[in-house]
Amino acid sequence: MPALESFLDELGLSSYERAAYRVLFTLHRAQASRIAEKSKVPQAKIYGVLKSLEEKGLVGQELSKTKTYALKDPHSSFSSIINRKQAGLRRLEDELGRILETYGGQSSEKKNESLEIMHGREKVLGTIDGQFISTKSFYYATAGFRTNSAGLREEVRKMIDRGVAVCFIGNIDSKNLWLAEKWAGIGVEIKHSAEVDKRVRFSVLDKRFATLTLKDEEYTTIVTNSLPIVLTIFDMFQYYWAKAVPLKDRKAQLPEVSIA
């Protein structure tokens, strides 16, 4: 699997980690002794290697009579690693901007920063929709999965079609699972989190635009392109995303219900 080998190397995995992961990529689950045998990782080192893969979020342990290691969903685990690396690069970019300001003065980008307070759900959603066309990399947001808007889904689908990564976090239960799956059906990656405050919504598009909404009577929302605030909201999303449960796993936790 040369493509996988190269990809794992780019992610910074050691040669032993790559060898052990390739075995689990094929077997999906196995005991440490078998992983060591097939990967040629020394028996004395295999548990340390597997622990490192666990810490990276690539491998997990299953409860059984004998300790068994299982491959975590590659799409979710690799995406989390890449997102963390992207966040690190963005922090470096931000730090570079501050360093360059020391030598070259305030950048024009910072001079053009803005922050506005808006009221009303429709006005806020309209403002976010207006940013979709210029979004190039990602759209991350919390979601309540209560509004079944075909128009909004179509705009999001257009972003996904041109390569934008769209990820939503929400509190998913038996009542709104069908709507979460509807969003997933157009390519949105969805995770469940009960930790996200239902009274607060936030979103971030690339590293240039973000919203923070208090779900009061007026739907009060901060709308900004201020880089420090945008990066703070980006980091907040990454924090919850890393701890959240993928949609398919959340679905398995819920009782089956019929939708009339």
- The whole-number average pLDDT for the span 220-243 is 92
Q: For residue 234, what pLDDT band results from cuts at 50, 70 and 90?
A: very high
> What is the residue type of 231?
L
Q: Count H helices, E strands: the chain?
A: 11, 11
DSSP 22-42: HHHHHHSEEEHHHHHHHHT--
* Residue 72: C-alpha distances to residues 112, 178, 239 (Å): 43, 24, 19
List, for residues 63-81, the tens digit of each pLDDT value: 777 789 999 998 888 888 8
- The whole-number average pLDDT for the span 22-41 is 92
Domains of the chain: residue spans and CATH:
2-72 (1.10.10.10), 113-253 (3.30.870.10)
In this prediction the pTM is 0.56
Q: What is the rounded CA–CA span in Å between residue 11 and residue 4?
A: 11
Enumerate the β-bridge partners of residue 210: 204, 224
Burial 216-238 (b: 16+ CB within 10 A, else e): eeebebbbbbbbebbbebbebbb
Q: Which two tokens stand for residue 65?
A: 């009579």
List, for residues 168-184, the tens digit of each pLDDT value: 999 999 999 999 999 99
DSSP 169-233: EE---TTTHHHHHHHHTTT-EEEE-SSS-TTEEEEEETTTEEEEEE-STT-EEEEE--HHHHHHH
List, for residues 114-155, the tens digit of each pLDDT value: 889 988 888 888 888 889 989 999 999 998 887 788 888 899
Cα distance between the two ends of the chain = 46
Residue 258 confidence (pLDDT) above 70: no
Q: For residue 111, what pLDDT band results from cuts at 50, 70 and 90?
A: low
Average pLDDT, the chain: 86
Q: Which two tokens stand for residue 109?
A: 């980008």
CB 195 within 8 A of CB 168: no
Length of the chain: 260
Burial class (CB within 10 angstroms; exposed 0-12, middle 13-18, buried 19+) of 59: buried
